[in-house]
Structures are given as C-alpha cells and as structure tokens.
Structure 1
Amino acid sequence: MRWIKLLSALGKAKLRPKLKGSETSSLNFRVWITDIDISVMNHAAIMTVFEMGRADYMVRTNFFKVATKNKWFFPNQAINAQFYRPLKMFQKATVYTKMSFVDETYFYVEQKIMRHGKPIASCFANGLAKKGRETIPTSEILKSLKIENKDVPRENHALICMFKEKNSKMTEKIIDNW
C-alpha cells in the first residue's frame, strides 16, 4: 500500500507549482488504516511520508526529470529521524521538505511533519546522485537544473557537523567494530 502512496505523491507533484531549490515543499496527507499499528501511525509509514516529501520536492524542483534524462539514481546515504507525537487514524498532517546544505558530493535535506502547529516527527537525510558506480558531483547537477550556486545553501552549519559526526561514529561502531 505504501508504494501506492509514493507513486500517488509523484503523480500529484507533476501537477503542483514548480519550486526553486531554495524553497520549501509542503505536502498534506492523511493517516489511513494501513498506516497504523493498533491505534497510531507506525514508524515505517512515517518514513514513507518523509520519502513522499522528498519525492515531491525532487519533482517540483525538476531534479527528478533531469535525473531520469541523465539516467541518474539518488540513493540516500544516511537518514536520522526523530518521533515526537503520535498520529492517529484519519488525522491530517503536513510534511515540509527543504534543502539544508549542499557540498561537493551530497545534498542534505531537512524535513518535519506538523499537525496543528505541533511537531510530529523530524528527519534529516543526505543523498547523492549516481550513474552506475559513478558519483555525480553536485555542481554538475546544479548546472543541469540551471540553479546558481548562490541559490543553494552552502553554509556548513552545526546540524551538518553533528549529522556527519553521528554517522561516522555509527559506521565505526556497527560496521568497522562489530
């Protein structure tokens, strides 16, 4: 069922207004019976909503079209999610997605789910574009999208540093020293 929601978000994004890379995407959704465990939306369903938000952002900024044309795919390298409040069946909420930072290799994306002005969950993810085994530099992607460097966040802020440090420690502990 979740893949249907994701495909639906992709289709609807094509009909929505285009966005600049520096703008924030917002996508409304409703919790359905297939999204809940017992009585609240489960974490897997929330992660699908975050994916829907990133897909909406990619389509509306034209990244999805350019990536398809160039046969690029875009795996996430790491995702950090925090859950604050539950969502119950049939409740409505909104997922917001914005570009937080761009370096030579990665795009960093901030997301949050809000309901009536209160945070439900937040997500911070980084990803890149690849063609086969080749990593596509972000400068090439921005050029293809006709986005000026000044129009994307290039300031490495504290959240980026914490995210990189946490992921490095996790890799060291789980992968290198299992």
Structure 2
Amino acid sequence: MHLLLRTLLILLRSAKRPPLSVWDSSSLTLRVLPTDIDIAMHVNNGMYFSLMDLGRFDLMVRSGTWQKMRRRGWSPVAAGETIAFRRSLQLWQQYTIETRIIGLDAKAIYFEQRMVVGGEIYARAYIATRLVSKAGPVTQEEILAEFGQPPAGLELPEWIHDWRQNTALPGARRPAPHAWAGHRA
C-alpha cells in the first residue's frame, strides 16, 4: 500500500510518455521521498525492489504490454530477485530507474534494473518475474504471442540459469517444509 498512489501516478504518466518496444530500455526519473528512507536517512534496502516495480510498470505501460496483460487477465509476480548496492540514495536525491528485459526462459521473464545518479550505478538488480492467470502460469508461447519476438541475440547470461536453479523454492503445489540444518529448538 505504501506505493499505491505513486504506482497509480506512474501508470497515468507513463501512458503519456513516448512509446517503447517491450524489448527497449525504459528510463524513469524519480526523487527520493521521505517515505522511501529509513532511520539512517537513505533509501531502505528493502525499498529498492518496491521502487523498481515502478520502472517495470513504466516499461510495460509504454510498450502497450500492460494493457494486453490486463485484457488477458494476466498479473505479474516476482519469482526471484537479487540486488547489489554501490552507493546510497539520499533524501530528495533525484535518480533514474533504468529497466530492460534481458531474456526469458520457459518459466520467467528476466529484468535487469539499475538505480542511476549522474551516470553512475548506485544499485543493480535482477528480477525473475512470472505472468499468471486464473488458470495458472502463462506459457512462454502465450507471452511471445503478446510481446512479440525478442530481438536476435537476446540470450540470458548463463549465471542467471545457475542463480535461479540454486535459489528457487519448490513450486507452490510441492511441499517446502521449514527445518534449519543442524537447528536445535
């Protein structure tokens, strides 16, 4: 809920910005607000992912993909995320969220996103997202039918496959019991 109003504003503003292909890069300029910071007076580490949602919305709206997804009853969900920090974003600082799709596989669409100030990367994240409908996960074939074919040469880096394989939890229909290795109560 903390970004609901800002998300709605981005959806409206992005619809008026120049159109993009879903395979293009999006650049969204924002400013650090008081609701984005923690007690250390910089953007809270957990807030970066929430702010990056806005960058993905910008790309989806500007490419027309958001409207297609809504019409088909598809919703995006994060399946995995990893982030690295270089510098802190401070209160009132202006920054851009750079967003691009770096590829897809049979289960997910992969985004690279960067928080950039003055041409310098402050944080970089990789997000694996899935599209789901009431009937379940949306197939790669359905996604490509709506998104169009990716540009020639768009191929996921090998480390992305390793990352997903090594960090993924079992699917929601399989058990995922909690037990710490070597844990004593």
Q: Which TM-score tier does this pair reach, normalised by the shorter chain?
A: 0.7 to 0.9
Question: Which residue does 1:167 correspond to in 2?
Answer: 167
Moved over 4 A (4+): none
Cα distance in 2 for residues equivalent to 1:28 and 1:113: 10
Question: Which residue does 2:85 correspond to in 1?
Answer: 83
Give the alignment of 1:63-82 within 5 angstroms: 63-82=65-84
Give the alignment of 1:59-138 within 5 angstroms: 59-138=61-140
Give the drift of 1:153: 5.9
Cα distance in 2 for residues equivalent to 1:133 and 1:88: 43
Cα distance in 2 for residues equivalent to 1:92 and 1:152: 34
- Structure 1 gaps of 5+ residues are none
Contact residue 102 and residue 156 of structure 2 kept, 8 A: no
Question: How large is the Cα RMSD of the aligned pairs?
Answer: 2.0
Instruction: Number of aligned residue pairs: give it.
Output: 172
Question: Which residue does 2:182 correspond to in 1?
Answer: none
Structure 1 stretch displaced more, 102-111 or 24-33: 102-111
Question: Which residue does 2:27 correspond to in 1?
Answer: 26
| Equivalent residue in structure 2 for 1:43, among 42, 45, 51 | 45
Q: Secondary structure at the match of 2:87?
A: coil
Matched to 2:163, the amino acid is F
Cα distance in 1 for residues equivalent to 2:153 and 2:34: 38
Give the drift of 1:106: 1.3
Give the drift of 1:133: 4.0
Cα distance in 2 for residues equivalent to 1:74 and 1:112: 19
Superposed CA deviations along residues 106-137 of structure 1, whole A, max 9, x for unmatched, are 11111010111222111111112111142111
Give the drift of 1:73: 1.2
Please identify the structure whose Cα radius of gyration is greater. 2
Superposed CA deviations along residues 56-88 of structure 1, whole A, max 9, x for unmatched, are 111112121011111111111111122221111
Cα distance in 1 for residues equivalent to 2:90 and 2:30: 12
Give the drift of 1:25: 0.4
Question: Which residue does 1:15 correspond to in 2?
Answer: 16
Identity %: 23
Give the drift of 1:152: 6.8
Taking structure 2 as the reference length, what is the TM-score of the superposition? Answer: 0.83
